[in-house]
DNA sequence: TCTTTTATTCGACGCACTGTTGATTATTTT
DNA sequence: AAAATAATCAACAGTGCGTCGAATAAAAGA
């Protein structure tokens, strides 16, 4: 694990391109963004772009990777006890929502209208790997059919992401804590149990 | 509303292009599909393409429109009574799932990996316009906070679509009826109520 | 600080796809 | 059978792509 220090110029160029992409994505769909256009908007030479990325999509993925890594760090900082404590809303859910709020512009662009479906799948996958086994155990205790908890998981995760999209598209009118509480309520009792 | 009969050649060309696009989309992402490539795959002259569509995305939208129209026809054929009868699973839900099963290839391409997020939003919108008012009434009867039912709606619709994605990506191992029953159970009682 | 290393810039190149045109051929409609 | 219209074909300029070598600028190492 050699810590390779990255040249300051490289860091700067990549940062400029990343934030330039996010800025453009707020205006237009990713497939309409050309390398030429992005470089002009960022005042970076087009050739320089190709020193770092093969195309706009690879750049997008690097942006996604960065956010996803931060997301995973939050998940890793949560002990199982933190997650399954009786507290409502759970600190785990709250911290994840705060992360979204702190990266609102980027998350909106990736998760909402004209977002990246593949990225949404990746997010689901990250959560799945950490939650599903725990879930499975709880379901089996209740004697539920084996396949059911997979569908239950998809329902819950997709449902939460849908709520987040609605929330972000309206510039987050509720606090992270309020959102977390609502989500956990829906997960546990469905929507008729209000 | 003049019924304009469309030339057989036009119908045929458009049909060939539509099914060609769906075929290609099963292999690669939409943004990697060029007009040149699509026309070669369909054995249609490239110039002919431009007589009907401005670009690949307009063709995609026309495909989406067709599916969405069929979806709406199903919804329209359902009386409120059909939807809110006590029957489980409801005939409404079953019919919608059967429509998905009948258009499996297309739905998979539009809703799953590398799908079109804007299309998913349109689907949500179609359902929303027909369901939300009914929902709102039920929520107010229970004295719920005004904004809550919007989030509840997003949770449920997104949750169901997430289940559908999981279902379709695995080539629909359950029947439409089984899926409908599971969805309605999650909606009503959440996932811990199994 | 001076030297070495490395990143960025610049101009240019062939290439592929685009969107359109006008003329020609084939099919459908009346 | 005649008229209308759709599809084909070849060709065009325009634009972005991906790459290159040479020149310049900036950072790292001594």
Long-range contacts formed by A30-36: CB under 8 A, 24+ apart: A30/A56, A30/A57, A30/A60, A30/A114, A30/A116, A30/B31, A31/B30, A31/B31, A31/B57
Rounded CA-CA distance A28/A17 in Å is 16
Q: Is residue B34 part of a domain?
A: yes
Interface of B with A in 95-124 (CB under 8 A): 112-118, 120-121, 124
Q: What is the pLDDT averaged over residues A70-77?
A: 90
Q: Is residue A194 part of a domain?
A: no
A169 and A127 share a domain? yes
pLDDT of the residue at A114: 84
Residues 6 or more apart in contact with residue A7 via CB below 8 angstroms: none
Q: Is residue A18 part of a domain?
A: yes
pLDDT of the residue at A72: 92
pLDDT of the residue at A139: 67
Q: What is the DSSP letter of B31?
A: G
Domain of residue B70 covers: 60-189
pLDDT of the residue at B87: 75
SS3 B138: helix
Q: What is the DSSP letter of B62?
A: H
A48 and A141 share a domain? no
pLDDT of the residue at A177: 94
B92 and B153 share a domain? yes
A149-189 pLDDT, tens digit per residue, is 899 999 999 999 999 999 999 999 999 999 999 998 888 87
pLDDT of the residue at A1: 47
Inter-chain residue contact B191 with A116, CB threshold 8 Å = no
Q: Which residues in window 35-54 of B are less than 7 A from strand C by Cβ?
A: 35-37, 46-47, 50, 54
Q: Is residue B106 part of a domain?
A: yes
Q: Is residue A5 part of a domain?
A: yes
pLDDT of the residue at A192: 63
The larger pLDDT score, comparing residue A40 to residue A87, is at A40
A85 and A164 share a domain? yes
Residues 6 or more apart in contact with residue A98 via CB below 8 angstroms: A176
> How many structural domains does chain B have?
2
A3 band by pLDDT with thresholds 50, 70 and 90: low
Residues 6 or more apart in contact with residue B3 via CB below 8 angstroms: none
B13 and B46 share a domain? yes
Q: Which residue is nearest to nucleotide D4 (CA to C1')?
A: B7
Domain at A26, CATH number: 1.10.10
Pick from B53, B73, B94: which residue ends a domain? B53
Rounded CA-CA distance B180/A95 in Å is 34
A105 and A35 share a domain? no
A75-96 pLDDT, tens digit per residue, is 888 766 555 566 788 888 899 9
pLDDT of the residue at B7: 96
* pLDDT surpassing 80 at residue A99: yes
> Rounded to the nearest 10 degrees, how much is the dihedral formed by the CA atoms of B155, B86, B107, B193?
40
B127 and B175 share a domain? yes
Closest by Cα among A102, A93, A95, A185 to A131 = A93
A12 and A70 share a domain? no
DSSP symbols for A49-112: HHHH-SSHHHHHHHHHHHHHHHHHHHHHTS-HHHHHSS-SS-HHHHHHHHHHHHTHHHHHHHHS
A76 and A141 share a domain? yes
CA of A115: which chain B residue's CA is closest? B117
* pLDDT surpassing 80 at residue A128: yes
pLDDT of the residue at A84: 56
Rounded CA-CA distance B164/A159 in Å is 12
What's this model's pTM, rounded to 2 decimal places? Answer: 0.90
B180 and B103 share a domain? yes
Average pLDDT over all residues of chain A = 89
> Nearest nucleotide, C1' to the C-alpha of A10?
C7
Pick from B53, B75, B92: which residue ends a domain? B53
Inter-chain residue contact B162 with A163, CB threshold 8 Å = no
CA(B51)–C1'(D22) in Å? Answer: 47
User: Mean pLDDT in runs of 10 for chain B (194 residues)?
Assistant: 78 98 95 97 98 98 96 82 68 92 96 92 92 75 74 93 96 95 86 59
Question: In degrees rounded to 5, what are phi and psi of residue A177?
Answer: -65, -40
> Rounded to the nearest 10 degrees, how much is the dihedral formed by the CA atoms of A40, A46, A50, A56?
30
Q: Is residue A58 part of a domain?
A: no
Q: Is residue B21 part of a domain?
A: yes
Q: Is the CB of A3 under 7 A from strand D?
A: no
Inter-chain residue contact A114 with B114, CB threshold 8 Å = no
B118 and B39 share a domain? no
A47-66 pLDDT, tens digit per residue, is 999 999 999 999 999 999 99
pLDDT of the residue at A182: 92
Is residue B142 within 8 A of residue A108, CB to CB? The reply is: no
The larger pLDDT score, comparing residue B131 to residue A97, is at A97
Considering Cα of A85, then A86, then A87, then A88, what sign does the dihedral take?
positive
Q: Is residue B194 part of a domain?
A: no
B81 and B36 share a domain? no
């Amino acid at each position: 694990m050699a810590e390779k220090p990255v040249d300051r110029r490289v860091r700067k160029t990549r940062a400029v391109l990343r934030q330039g992409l996010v800025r453009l994505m707020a205006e237009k769909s990713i497939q309409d963004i050309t390398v030429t256009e992005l470089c002009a908007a960022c005042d970076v030479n087009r050739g320089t772009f190709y020193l770092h990325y093969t195309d706009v999509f690879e750049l997008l993925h690097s942006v996604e990777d960065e956010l996803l890594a931060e997301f995973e760090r939050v998940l890793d900082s949560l002990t199982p006890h933190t997650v399954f404590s009786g507290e409502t809303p759970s600190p785990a859910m709250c911290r994840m929502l705060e992360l979204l709020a702190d990266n609102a512009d980027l998350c909106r662009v990736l998760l909402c209208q004209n977002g990246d479906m593949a990225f949404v799948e990746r997010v689901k996958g990250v959560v799945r790997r950490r939650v599903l086994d725990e879930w499975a155990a709880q379901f089996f205790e209740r004697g539920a059919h084996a396949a059911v908890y997979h569908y239950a998981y998809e329902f819950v995760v997709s449902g939460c992401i849908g709520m987040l999209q609605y929330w972000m598209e309206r510039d987050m009118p509720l606090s992270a804590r309020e959102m977390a509480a609502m989500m956990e309520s829906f997960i546990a009792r469905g929507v008729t149990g209000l």
